[in-house]
Structure 1
């Protein structure tokens, strides 16, 4: 179905090519997973499948890419629209209509399908992705995860033979991600659709994949069965890391397979328990939010929420898509709507507390920093270096402060690169560095690991732990349960605009199958959350059987 024949892609003469002499075949009805470090070339590979590379992105493509017998050099994306459906990393940027139902129908209108066929497919897709209640909603009022599902649905209605997905579950809560992946696998198994899917959260997807294409970052592509490829790479989900630690062969790709091999490990850990979390702080909170209410036309996004944030603590804010997490963060930071309630931030030094909403934006940043779900919204200059220099100047930080923070998150990012030419993960790293340059006592991060690979996540975890150790209060709104298990001291779960759970990370995550990380599922009923905890408990003398 898809053939790459000695494909090399160059965007400039002086830089390394993201793809170099790549040859591979993807057969009809395969689910092919693409993995690799942030910026390794995954998006380039995906865009080459429907001719976006080079017809839209520019650069030069050497060799040939053939899809269903059509050579992309002679067939631009419009000639492949009936064969290849593409969903990018940022769904909002790809929408062309105003409402959900209109967006689902738009692609079929361009293919001149009969009205009766269009109506039937719209209904089928609404049910398939669980978004029927959103059919009349304006697209811009949807949460990031809801937008992601609509974008996938808009492609599925055209019944493409090849489906290309760039991080399709990055903005979805665990349950919604399972629903989307179940729909995708049904397309593969029942209809023979060929799916090429790039994803950083391998723990969600790898068990469904027939093949894994791993991009190490040198332009090459390692092609093979997922378990075989993951044996020798440094990017691996927690389940594979646990399998390596325990010496399991073959490496398990699903919780079910891991549990079948985990008997000896569970027995070895039977007399050990993870360390207790530190006690909740007794000091007054650095930020206190009371009775926060946020309304949008036809809905209450936040319904009278109270929230305390303490210095030196990391709080994870979780909940299904549309539960009110982002609305609460924007209301707390002061830039978003707040229809009722108060927010006070302790400025220290005996000074009176302030409400960020009552301050100019520049001053509010110094008290509460916020990195939004779409970080590109905060970037407006021509180069990476210009953004970093501006952040240093605006905050009065020492020259190079922002760049140093950026290098900890995305090492080696070219300073002359335009922010819009960065990958999603690189753009996120840049905005995070810009916001942290102001060194606010409260840092709010909305889905901060979208687009970040496992190594970048470890660097992110180290950075956030450093912020907490320096006395800052950090909130991470995320669907990434593996990140929460490693990073958070406290977890708050929202539903329908209200808080439905609030406790330590272990208390909340072990009580919910939806939010339990992979290690917890494998070693249940023992209260282990992370490979890091298991490694420490086994000690350096541990040798797998």
Structure 2
């Protein structure tokens, strides 16, 4: 259905894809993996003819989609066969409500009203959107918007689906529902799916083929286990298999558990002597330092948390906090206290009120009732933005909300100036999280992960006492997430506070001290992160599922347990 023949793409600053050769057959789910900025979105864009017809740049080689050469067919000429879901769902919406958006593509295809109604109902049920049928799109959470964007494409029943980070804003249960729906479409309807995703632990077990891109745009394609065995970007199950020497590498929790018996016994034997757990990753840097990529990854794998890192005095408190959006009661009477030197994860299903709570705490969002106080006794909502930012800084789910200048270097320089920071501070922070970004590029031309890293760096330049992050790993690959973990752990050692709303359980397992679980706007759980993640069938990371009942959450935990005294295991 899709064929790439010696495809290269260059936007004027050097090739982002180099000589890609790959064939994706009918009824296959092909996963595209690679570091942030490696050209995954460009490859997907080429499959839908958006590159170069919409994006600009120069494409060489040949892309065939259902036998049609994209050099001779514009995206509209492929609309009957290709449906595309981009990284930013809001950018694709053209109507006001969920039902209208689901029907829009069918209206353009002039389908009969009765057929349109039936397909809308089917997609509402397929993606769990029935309760949101008449909701305005602007009132939905990021994850709900993502499901609507996928549904709007599915109603037209294309033969090829191209999806860029389709589960990045979804909670684990919703992500499983979406991926199960895609798998049914592949197996039962013969739909071809080309999908790019950074959270490989969610999707790799569904893939029939993998295209792996290197940082300089060189591609390797083939069987998932074979390609991922040598890929620089791999999910925890593959990393665990590499550590244990398993061959072939398992790609699912089920297959890994069947192989993991001997390893589980060794980990159980050594875990009592091993230090580690949530907060252990990335905690060996000197206070205030932001390290290079290699140093961050090395330290993150070996560090254990010390007693000096224990949380201190409260830096932000909320009492009886309520937030209403029209008739929707998003936050209901939340009380919380965040301590200095503490990283707290805010978790919960899509629409639970996480983003509304973060905006209310920052002082920039609406509140219906309740109070928020910093350590100095001030309410961020009553302070000038420049002053409030040094106390409580928010990185929103949409990083472009913070970016307004024409180049990355201009954004960094403005952040330094506004924060009274040493020139170059923001650029150094950015380089520690996601190295290699061209300072001359426009922020809108960056990948989603690169834009988010830039927004994080802009806010960190002000050295806020409290940093609020809304889905900060969206669009970040595993190495970039490791660098973000290292940076946030450095803030913790400085006595700063981090509250991070995230669906990324692997990220939370590496960093969080405490988890607040939000449901229908209420805090229903406030527990140590290790206890919560080990006990939860929904939020447990892959390693915990594979090696239960061993008390480990990450591959780094396993490595420490093995180093504590287990003998080397022979590969099965």
With normalisation by structure 2, the TM-score equals 0.92
* 1:530 Cα offset (Å): 1.1
Q: How does 1:39-78 map to 2 (within 5 A)?
A: 39-78=37-76
* 1:82 Cα offset (Å): 0.9
Between stretches 237-246 and 428-437, larger displacement belongs to 237-246
**In structure 2, what is the Cα distance between the partners aligned to 1:247 and 1:212?**
21
* 1:422 Cα offset (Å): 0.5
Among 315, 320, 323, the alignment partner of 1:294 is 323
Q: How does 1:102-181 map to 2 (within 5 A)?
A: 102-181=100-179
Among 440, 462, 486, the alignment partner of 1:438 is 462
Query: Does structure 2 retain, via aligned residues, the 8 Å contact 1:30–1:195?
Result: yes
**In structure 1, what is the Cα distance between the partners aligned to 2:104 and 2:333?**
39
Among 84, 89, 108, the alignment partner of 1:86 is 84
1:199 and 2:197 matched: yes
**In structure 1, what is the Cα distance between the partners aligned to 2:216 and 2:428?**
24
Q: Helix, strand or coil: the match of 2:187?
A: helix
* 1:126 Cα offset (Å): 0.2
Residue aligning to 1:216: 214
Among 177, 181, 184, the alignment partner of 1:183 is 181
**In structure 2, what is the Cα distance between the partners aligned to 1:196 and 1:281?**
45
1:260 and 2:284 matched: no
Query: Does structure 1 retain, via aligned residues, the 8 Å contact 2:407–2:443?
Result: yes
Between stretches 102-111 and 521-530, larger displacement belongs to 521-530
Residue aligning to 1:311: 340
* 1:282 Cα offset (Å): 7.4
Among 441, 447, 471, the alignment partner of 2:495 is 471
Residue aligning to 1:326: 355
* 1:217 Cα offset (Å): 2.1
**In structure 2, what is the Cα distance between the partners aligned to 1:331 and 1:375?**
18
Distance 1:276 1:28, change over 3 A: closer
* 1:17 Cα offset (Å): 0.7
Q: Helix, strand or coil: the match of 1:270?
A: helix
Query: Does structure 1 retain, via aligned residues, the 8 Å contact 2:416–2:461?
Result: yes
Distance 1:253 1:446, change over 3 A: same
1:502 and 2:526 matched: yes
1:343 and 2:378 matched: no
Distance 1:282 1:522, change over 3 A: closer
* 1:100 Cα offset (Å): 0.2
* 1:540 Cα offset (Å): 7.8
Among 228, 242, 245, the alignment partner of 1:244 is 242
**In structure 2, what is the Cα distance between the partners aligned to 1:276 and 1:206?**
27
* 1:233 Cα offset (Å): 1.8
Q: How does 1:230-241 map to 2 (within 5 A)?
A: 230-241=228-239
Query: Does structure 1 retain, via aligned residues, the 8 Å contact 2:276–2:557?
Result: no
1:11 and 2:11 matched: yes
Query: Does structure 2 retain, via aligned residues, the 8 Å contact 1:281–1:310?
Result: no
1:514 and 2:499 matched: no
1:354 and 2:383 matched: no
Q: Helix, strand or coil: the match of 1:286?
A: strand
Deviations 1:119-144 (A, max 9, x none): 11000000000100001000000000
Q: Helix, strand or coil: the match of 1:244?
A: helix
Q: Helix, strand or coil: the match of 2:15?
A: coil
Residue aligning to 1:458: 482
Residue aligning to 2:408: 384
Structure 1 segments, 4+ long, off by >6 Å, are 276-280
**In structure 2, what is the Cα distance between the partners aligned to 1:275 and 1:467?**
21
Q: Helix, strand or coil: the match of 1:309?
A: strand
Between stretches 282-291 and 217-226, larger displacement belongs to 282-291
1:366 and 2:364 matched: no
* 1:50 Cα offset (Å): 1.1
**In structure 1, what is the Cα distance between the partners aligned to 2:199 and 2:180?**
16
**In structure 2, what is the Cα distance between the partners aligned to 1:85 and 1:281?**
50
With normalisation by structure 1, the TM-score equals 0.97
**In structure 2, what is the Cα distance between the partners aligned to 1:495 and 1:275?**
32
Higher relative contact order (CA 8 A, sep 6+): 2
Deviations 1:434-469 (A, max 9, x none): 000000100001000000000101111100100101
Query: Does structure 2 retain, via aligned residues, the 8 Å contact 1:39–1:423?
Result: yes
* 1:409 Cα offset (Å): 1.1
Mark the runs of 5 or more structure 2 residues left unpaired by the alignment: 278-305
Query: Does structure 2 retain, via aligned residues, the 8 Å contact 1:245–1:544?
Result: no
Query: Does structure 2 retain, via aligned residues, the 8 Å contact 1:104–1:122?
Result: yes
**In structure 2, what is the Cα distance between the partners aligned to 1:298 and 1:355?**
26
Between stretches 446-455 and 507-516, larger displacement belongs to 507-516
Query: Does structure 1 retain, via aligned residues, the 8 Å contact 2:6–2:21?
Result: yes
1:427 and 2:451 matched: yes
